[in-house]
Amino acid sequence: MKKVYLLIFLISISLIAEGKNPLESPMFDTLIKSIVNETNYVFDNQNIIIKVPDFADNPVQVPIFVDGTKIKNAKRLILITDYNPIPNIIDIKLYNLLPIFSTNIKIAQGTPLRVLILDDKNIWHIGSKNIKSNGGGCDISSQISKNNEFEDFLGKIKIQLFDKDNSTKIKSSIFHPMETGLVFGTTEFYINKITLKTNNNLLAEMSLTQVISENPRFIFETKEKIDNLTINFFDINGNNFNEKIEK
């Protein structure tokens, strides 16, 4: 009997993965095959909360918020967009972070936003939300790089820690142009790696792309309370910007 239930479960997963995409797009199948095994995911808008504006009228600063805490023991969190010229946003290894994340991104046009969360059974859960916009955010060069004091502020970091019942919310930002390099006459220049540590223990490490907005702001949340944090931002020019905070 157990084998029958297992077979039904596996068949249901396969059916969901094959035919229940809530936001069909011609790019999705190609993108998903580059990240996960096509039979190893389920569409799961019930357990993944995604918040985006009703209409993103500023395509260079589109706020997004993700909460996948209903998926227990999540190991990895990936965000992608179907129609951006650079579809990948961020890939987070959740060593001791909850699958909660917020930032601002650039979008070239209206696009589905996909949130992929890997559970402890190595099944990917995919949440989908449509971002409506006139677009154009990937074709605008950074404004802060034109600031006369740009070099003085580059890499300046802010961190705040907020205690919750059993966790700590982390808010952090950094002064950086996050230049896409897609605008004629510009060169790509962006943060491509972040690490979070407490007491020399790695909380998370992540890789990101230039579609995250300039002067990026981030929200994370830990699985357990922490009283200190060290954050490192690495960019593609070899810079390592870091800051430590203690309560």
How far apart (Å, rounded) are the C-alpha atoms in residues 86 and 109?
12
- Burial tier of 93 (Cβ tally within 10 Å: 0-12, 13-18, 19+): middle
What is the residue extent of each domain of the chain? 2-246
CATH 2.60.40.2470 fits 2-246, yes or no: yes
Q: What is the pLDDT of residue 13?
A: 45
How far apart (Å, rounded) are the C-alpha atoms in residues 170 and 163?
9
Residue 243: what residue type?
E
Give the Cβ contact number of residue 61 at 10 Å: 15
Q: Contact at 8 Å (CB) between 159 and 243?
A: yes
Q: Residue 132 carries which DSSP code?
A: P
Q: Contact at 8 Å (CB) between 4 and 12?
A: no
Q: What is the pLDDT of residue 133?
A: 97
Q: What is the pLDDT of residue 8?
A: 40
In the block, which residue shows the tokens 């909660």?
100
Q: Residue 120 carries which DSSP code?
A: T
Closest by Cα among 182, 200, 243, 187 to 218: 243
How far apart (Å, rounded) are the C-alpha atoms in residues 113 and 77?
13
How far apart (Å, rounded) are the C-alpha atoms in residues 172 and 159?
4
In the block, which residue shows the tokens 């896409």?
180
φ/ψ (deg, to 5) at 214: -60, 155
Q: What is the pLDDT of residue 38?
A: 65
How far apart (Å, rounded) are the C-alpha atoms in residues 37 and 24?
18
Note down pLDDT in tens along the chain; length 247 residues.
445 444 444 444 444 444 489 999 999 999 999 998 766 999 999 999 999 999 999 999 999 999 999 999 999 999 999 999 999 999 999 999 999 999 999 999 999 999 999 999 999 999 999 999 999 998 888 888 777 778 899 999 999 999 999 999 999 999 999 999 999 889 999 999 999 999 999 999 999 999 999 999 999 999 999 999 999 999 999 999 999 999 8
Q: Contact at 8 Å (CB) between 64 and 77?
A: no
